[in-house]
Amino acid sequence: MTEHDYDSVMARKPAIMLGSLGLDYQPFMRDPIAFDYEALMGLVPYSIEEIRQVQAASGIGSTALIELRQLTQLARRLAPKGKGARIFVKDEASNPSGSYKARRASLSLHHAQRAGFKGVVSATSGNYGAAVASQAARRGMSCIVVQEVFDSLGIGQPEILEKGRACEIYGAEVRQMSVGPELFYSFLRVLEETGFFNASLYTPFAIAGVEPLGFEIVEQMQSVVGRMPDVVICTHAGGGNLTGTARGLRKAGATATQVIGASVDLSGLHMASDVDFNRKHFTTGHTGFGIPFAGWPDRTDVPRNAARVLRYMDRYLLLKQGEVFYVTEALARLEGLERGPAGNVSLAAAFALAQEMDEDRTIVVQETEYAGAGKQPSAQLTFARARGVEILRGDSEQEVPGKNVIIPDHPGRIKVRDMDMTRLRTSLIRKAVAGAGGGEISPEVAAFLAAETQTDESFVRAALN
């Protein structure tokens, strides 16, 4: 008789994962630390062009690249003379489910259907779940979304509830959970009971599905501007967004383009805390995911995460909640585009960064997402006030996550804040070695960790010493 208590189910995790993915990771493992990353990505048997064809068949991709002329002009008014880079945005909200995650879902479900799976399961706060549900509907596959929604009082954030409704409209069965270990336990139970495909965000198929996005950016910028983009900014949470886009940029030849991650700074709030869960007002694209996933990516539902963000991220910028709300409204008022919060994290970073760059340089904000009622600033701020969070106007630098949200009283308040990349790289190296029992590392492991962090063997050994 199969036992269904928490410890028994978690003990069966490796077998459940293997059966639900149809992927055997073992051939790529070299030791507890190193593995052949490019060989793992090589499990995807499609070229960029073939992936684009798969996606086009579902109405995905070839999204518009829009120059934000009014926001660029505002940045130039605030910048020193000669500064103020041109800002462009890739409008991924036009994908069927309203976000770039349709790209990740399309290739994953294409693989699942070819492998003979009749249904799919996704554990997500929402946008990816909606993408999976949308693609499952197109393919006539069953879909279950396991969603972390509530605190212990049964209160759910408006953005997460909005995403749950989106999953349901595409025909998915949505199982909503409270914050904590219940989510992953329930996810494993569903996989085991149904035999459905694990539509994880972190498989090679999910990451390869984003590569055409980076490729399209290069094609469109060459057409519009006549050259590669100088900077591409990606909102960073679990890392798949930036990893897939950066790989696509490289495949298109944009090796000199700087790839920057951006997250909302939620320092001091713990994402697994029942108390803190509803004191944050961004469900993704924040440091509660961004920093842990950058410093140790293998905290996922697959044996090895194909999203390895420090292999690709050149710089990491942090924004305040109030700054992103401000830019969200500015985008609507100045450019006539109402878009959801995730992409506007990168847009806020682009607005501040543009003021430091020469005016003949270019920045591409790599995504937008749809803006349902629960994603709008008014819904988020009303919810925050009801939780005892102060809503103020003034200097956003004074914002304290969980205590207040400060909307800038002037666009000049929006600042560039760099996360210490050396600290992140050092953290990854130390965690990897400590997790394998510590001790001396081989040249092969040192080379792997250097590739993981875009450094060299001397950096790796210095970090350990």
Which element (helix H / strand E) includes 87? strand 86-90
Looking at the domain assignment, is residue 37 inside a domain?
A: no
Q: Which domain holds residue 193?
A: 6-26+99-204
Quote the percentage of the chain above a pLDDT of 90. Answer: 82
Task: Give residue 13's pLDDT.
Answer: 86
* Domain match, 442 and 332 both: no
Looking at the domain assignment, is residue 439 inside a domain?
A: yes
pLDDT at 38 over 70: yes
* Domain match, 247 and 288 both: yes
Task: Give residue 35's pLDDT.
Answer: 95
Mean pLDDT of 278-304: 89
Q: Which of 204, 235, 259 delimits the end of a domain?
A: 204
The two three-digit tokens of residue 13, written as one number: 């995790």
* Domain match, 87 and 218 both: yes
The two three-digit tokens of residue 406, written as one number: 């400060």
Looking at the domain assignment, is residue 372 inside a domain?
A: yes
Mean pLDDT of the chain: 94
Query: Phi/psi at 458 (nearest 5 deg)?
Result: -65, -40
Residue 83 forms beta bridges with which residues?
358
Looking at the domain assignment, is residue 418 inside a domain?
A: no
Task: Give residue 233's pLDDT.
Answer: 98
Quote the percentage of the chain above a pLDDT of 70. Answer: 100
* CB distance 354 to 363 below 8 Å: yes
Task: Give residue 1's pLDDT.
Answer: 64
* Domain match, 399 and 342 both: yes
* Domain match, 358 and 392 both: yes
Encode pLDDT of 297-328 as tens digits. Answer: 998 888 899 999 999 999 999 999 999 999 99
Task: Give residue 180's pLDDT.
Answer: 77
Looking at the domain assignment, is residue 178 inside a domain?
A: yes
Mean pLDDT of 215-219: 98
* Domain match, 291 and 392 both: yes
pLDDT at 132 over 80: yes
The two three-digit tokens of residue 58, written as one number: 């579902």
Encode pLDDT of 323-371 as tens digits. Answer: 999 999 999 999 999 999 999 999 999 999 999 999 999 999 999 999 9
* Domain match, 386 and 373 both: yes
Task: Give residue 439's pLDDT.
Answer: 87
Could you give the CA distance from residue 195 to residue 191 in angstroms, rounded to a whole number? Answer: 6
Looking at the domain assignment, is residue 419 inside a domain?
A: no
Domain at 137, CATH number: 3.40.50.1100
Comparing 424 with 18, the larger pLDDT belongs to 424
For CA atoms 123, 242, 353, 75, give the dihedral sign.
negative
Q: Which of 180, 204, 228 delimits the end of a domain?
A: 204
Query: Phi/psi at 450 (nearest 5 deg)?
Result: -65, -40
Looking at the domain assignment, is residue 381 inside a domain?
A: yes
* Domain match, 119 and 180 both: yes
Query: Phi/psi at 394 (nearest 5 deg)?
Result: 155, -140
Question: Residue 125: which pLDDT band, with cuts at 50, 70 and 90?
Answer: confident
* Domain match, 259 and 362 both: yes
Q: How many CA atoms lie within 13 A of 147 on its CB side?
A: 31
Could you give the CA distance from residue 16 to residue 7 in angstroms, rounded to a whole number? Answer: 14
* Domain match, 265 and 381 both: yes
Encode pLDDT of 19-30 as tens digits. Answer: 898 888 888 988
The two three-digit tokens of residue 253, written as one number: 């030849």
User: What is the total count of domains within the chain?
Assistant: 3
Could you give the CA distance from residue 343 to residue 329 in angstroms, rounded to a whole number? Answer: 13
* Domain match, 216 and 326 both: yes
* Domain match, 152 and 232 both: no
Rg of the Cα atoms in the chain? 21
Encode pLDDT of 78-121 as tens digits. Answer: 999 999 999 999 999 999 999 999 999 999 999 999 999 999 99
* CB distance 306 to 41 below 8 Å: yes
Alpha carbon 224 to its chain centroid, in Å, reads 27
Mean pLDDT of 123-140: 92
Please state, in angstroms and as integers, the Cα–Cα distance from residue 112 to each residue in 51, 105, 270, following that order. 15, 10, 34
Map residue 232 onto helix, strand or coil: strand
Q: Which of 187, 204, 221 delimits the end of a domain?
A: 204
Task: Give residue 299's pLDDT.
Answer: 85
Mean pLDDT of 51-62: 96
Encode pLDDT of 161-189 as tens digits. Answer: 999 999 999 999 999 988 877 888 899 99
| DSSP structural state of residue 35 | B
Task: Give residue 421's pLDDT.
Answer: 97
Looking at the domain assignment, is residue 41 inside a domain?
A: no
* CB distance 22 to 197 below 8 Å: yes
Between the two ends of the chain, the Cα-to-Cα distance in Å is: 50
Task: Give residue 121's pLDDT.
Answer: 96
Encode pLDDT of 376-426 as tens digits. Answer: 999 999 999 999 999 999 999 999 999 999 999 999 999 999 999 999 999
